[in-house]
Amino acid sequence: MFQVRIHGRGGQGVVTAAETLSIAAFLENKHAQAFPSFGSERMGAPVLAFCRISDKEIRLREPILEPDALIVQDPTAIDLPRVFIDVVPGGFVLINSPVPLVYQQQNITMKCIDATRIAIEQIGRPIPNAVLLGGFSALTGVVKIDSVIEAIKTKFFGTIAEKNICAAKVAYEKIIEES
């Protein structure tokens, strides 16, 4: 089972990101479970969402305490060093940041990407969730970029979907190049 935790702020599409990721995994015939941190958070408040991906049926309902991957949509929303500790060895961290951040953490693959800038350029709005899902696909290989694209098509429609797909692709290619 692969467990993903997404940190961000209300209004950044954190919950939508987890849901879209679960749909991408579903499209690859995997079992997936996405759920929010169950709050009544308003716009701007720190928000958490989770996604589990597995080849078998997922029965577990606890929050994800030790993620295999962390997606940070807004590094100002959390205490980064503290959430880093939770990531399992061999895990991944993807951070939305205009500047590269450096953390000394053994056995974790970390990437920074200016997802907000890519989102503004591609979508016209600072919503970095689709960008980061493209990046996540490149970084972890847990879901294919084509599945992410198909999943985006089920959550968004028309030109919004197209723009989000472009944004996801840009991030995917950027991270593939850098790796």
Residue ranges in contact with other proteins by CB under 8 A: 18-19, 22-23, 26-27, 31-36, 38, 40, 58-63, 65
Q: Would you tell me how many other CB atoms lie within 10 Å of the CB of residue 24? A: 28
CB 97, min distance to other proteins, A? 27
The closest of 17, 67, 12, 72 to 45, measured between CA atoms, is: 12
Q: Tokens 């490149």 appear where? A: 138
Shortest Å, Cβ 156 to other proteins? 15
Are 102 and 36 spatial neighbours (Cβ–Cβ below 8 Å)? no
* Minimal distance, residue 8 CB to other proteins, in Å: 17
Identity at 161, one-letter amino acid code? A
Closer to other proteins at the Cβ: 51 or 132?
Answer: 51
Closest separation between CB of residue 25 and other proteins, Å?
8
Q: Which is nearer to other proteins, 59 or 82 (CB)?
A: 59
Q: Which is nearer to other proteins, 32 or 168 (CB)?
A: 32
Give the shortest CB-110-to-other proteins separation in angstroms.
Answer: 26
Q: Which is nearer to other proteins, 17 or 95 (CB)?
A: 17
Q: What Cα–Cα distance (Å) separates residue 38 from each residue in 20, 35, 46, 98, 123? A: 17, 8, 12, 29, 28
Q: What is the CA radius of gyration of the chain?
A: 15
Question: What's the DSSP call for residue 140?
Answer: H
- Which residue number, 8 or 170, has a Cβ lying nearer to other proteins? 8
